[in-house]
């Protein structure tokens, strides 16, 4: 979806541009790159995949909640059809309002980036910035590595210590993905911002009963504020809503790209979609929030586990 048309970049070009921001997942020392991968001064080594992403997940970690190839294909098709463009535009408007010119640390880190759709769109509008896509799914990392020439793509666990240097990024983006307030705060440079997108309780409400999708918690915004509030102050919030008229393929992709795909088989999804009138009208409803890091974080420990999206 990017409009940039640079020739195929060597696998390491985007990674090389962000190298000073990367660190070892095991000892947090800086990383050095070679065509095979990355290595820290303590000799911990990480593979660079043929598809261009760097796998920083330690060998003993078994990824949990990683998006599957089927979910990613459905997500790429649904987002590529433009159905959530109002959300893209709202995120870009916030980023551009905050940074009309590149800051001293022009790095945008997308935490739980999936296929890199939002990151690529923002980078197209933020010339001079580099992008980092972080995701626990290597299938997502593979897609993100190809989504934009300025995206460096990493596999890592965003609920853990991030493999990123302190104060390396001016923007952190978290769209329907797990939030780690302490680490998001640590990686943000002075003057940095966190942009978060969450579904509102009205999101896709027409599909809940007929498809058996999980309902959104009506107290989600309060719990988000409680959790992020240990390290961030809410600067703005923007509701984003759109009415979508969806055909069969859109409906199947929409259901298959989200958490429902963890408990519904493709046959279940096809059967339930078949029973709906077409086109089927659904409400896409999001909350975009902009957060400023607190100078002094509050005591950690009371906010409990995250429950993305």
Binding segment for ligand SAM (CB under 6 A), chosen from 21-29, 156-164, 231-239, 242-250, is 156-164
- What is the distance between the alpha carbons of residues 92 and 176, in angstroms, rounded to a whole number? 16
Instruction: Please choose which of Zn ion, ligand SAM, none residue 211 contacts, taking the beta carbon within 5 to 8 angstroms, the exact cut-off set by kind.
Output: none
Q: Which of 119, 144, 115 is nearest to 51 (CA)?
A: 144
DSSP 88-126: HHHHHHHHHHH-SS--SS-EEEEET-TTSHHHHHHHHHS
122-151 mask for ligand SAM (x: CB under 6 A)? -------------xxx--x-----------
Say whether the peptide bond before residue 298 is cis (omega within 30 degrees of 0).
no
- The one among 15, 21, 22, 24 contacting Zn ion by CB under 5 A: 24
Crossing angle of helices 138-147 and 117-125, rounded to 10°: 20
Instruction: Please choose which of ligand SAM, Zn ion, none residue 44 contacts, taking the beta carbon within 5 to 8 angstroms, the exact cut-off set by kind.
Output: Zn ion
25 binds ligand SAM (CB under 6 A): no
User: In the numeric block, which tokens belong to residue 12?
Assistant: 């390491």
- Site of tokens 């997940």: 57
Question: Which residues have C-beta within 8 Å of that of residue 275, sequence separation ≥ 6?
Answer: 210
Closest separation between CB of residue 240 and ligand SAM, Å? 13
For ligand SAM (CB under 6 A), the number of binding residues is 20
114 binds ligand SAM (CB under 6 A): yes
Instruction: Please choose which of Zn ion, ligand SAM, none residue 136 contacts, taking the beta carbon within 5 to 8 angstroms, the exact cut-off set by kind.
Output: ligand SAM
Instruction: Please choose which of ligand SAM, Zn ion, none residue 40 contacts, taking the beta carbon within 5 to 8 angstroms, the exact cut-off set by kind.
Output: Zn ion
Number of neighbouring beta carbons within 10 Å of residue 50: 8
273 binds Zn ion (CB under 5 A): no
45 binds Zn ion (CB under 5 A): no
- The one among 19, 26, 92, 276 contacting Zn ion by CB under 5 A: 26
Closest separation between CB of residue 172 and ligand SAM, Å? 12
């Amino acid at each position: 979806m990017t409009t940039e048309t640079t020739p195929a970049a060597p696998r390491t070009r985007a990674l090389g541009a962000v190298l000073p921001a990367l660190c070892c997942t095991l000892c947090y020392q800086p990383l050095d790159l070679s065509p095979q991968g990355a290595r820290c001064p303590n000799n911990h080594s990480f593979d660079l995949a043929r598809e261009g992403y760097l796998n920083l997940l330690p060998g003993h970690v078994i990824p949990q909640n990683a998006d599957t190839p089927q979910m990613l294909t459905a997500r790429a098709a649904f987002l590529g059809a433009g159905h959530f463009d109002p959300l893209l535009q709202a995120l870009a408007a916030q980023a551009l309002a905050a940074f009309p010119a590149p800051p001293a640390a022009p790095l945008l880190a997308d935490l739980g980036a999936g296929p890199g759709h939002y990151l690529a769109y923002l980078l197209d509008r933020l010339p001079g910035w580099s992008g980092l896509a972080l995701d626990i799914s290597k299938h997502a990392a593979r897609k993100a590595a190809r989504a934009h020439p300025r995206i460096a793509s990493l596999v890592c666990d965003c609920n853990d210590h991030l493999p990123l240097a302190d104060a390396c990024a001016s923007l952190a983006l978290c769209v329907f993905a797990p939030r780690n307030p302490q680490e998001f705060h640590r990686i943000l440079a002075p003057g940095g911002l966190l942009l978060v997108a969450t579904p509102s309780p009205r999101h896709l409400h027409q599909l809940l009963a007929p498809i058996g999708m999980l309902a959104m918690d009506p107290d989600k915004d309060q719990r988000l504020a409680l959790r992020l509030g240990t390290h961030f102050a809410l600067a703005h919030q923007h509701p984003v809503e759109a009415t979508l008229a969806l055909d069969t393929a859109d409906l199947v992709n929409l259901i298959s790209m989200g958490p429902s795909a963890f408990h519904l088989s493709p046959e279940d999804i096809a059967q339930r979609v078949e029973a709906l009138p077409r086109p089927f009208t659904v409400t896409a409803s999001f909350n975009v929030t902009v957060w400023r890091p607190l100078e002094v974080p509050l005591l950690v420990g009371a906010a409990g586990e995250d429950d993305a999206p």
